Copies of this chain bind each other. A is one copy, B any other.
Amino acid sequence: MNEEIKFDAQGLIPAIVQDANTRQVLMCAYMNAESLQATLDSGYATFWSRRRQKLWRKGETSGHVQQVREIRYDCDGDTLLLLVVPQGPACHTGETSCFYRTLSLGVRA
């Protein structure tokens, strides 16, 4: 594994997923070394499900897979950015992006 990629104490790194064409930020999930390798090998976004504690190829049940065009990493090496071509919505709700809700600004939350 690339030495510049830093996994946290749980062996995980957050992976931001952005649509390579529309530039919309779609979701954020977590990868461990195995899921990053599976992503590199297959070309499809594969994460580590913290809830189910298993490898999870995005879209394995819904069919809404994400073909990976590019994987970037930040200056600290502790966050990934995947540029993908999504086959369908990223969110389980059917929304294109998981970030479909907005906080009010200028109001105490």
Contact = CB atoms under 8 A, between A and B. Distances in A.
Interface of A: 1-2, 4-5, 14, 16, 18, 23-25, 27-28, 36-37, 40-41, 43, 68, 70-76, 79, 81, 91-93, 95, 98-109
Contacts of A73: 99, 101-103
* Copies of chain A in the complex: 2
Main DSSP-derived SS at the A contact region: loop
Given A98-B75, A106-B43, A109-B5, A25 B36 contact: no
25 contacts: A1-B109, A2-B103, A2-B109, A5-B103, A16-B16, A16-B28, A23-B23, A36-B109, A37-B109, A40-B103, A40-B108, A41-B108, A43-B105, A43-B106, A71-B102, A71-B103, A71-B105, A72-B100, A72-B101, A73-B101, A74-B98, A75-B91, A75-B98, A75-B100, A79-B99
Contacts of A43: 105-106
A16 B98 CA distance: 13
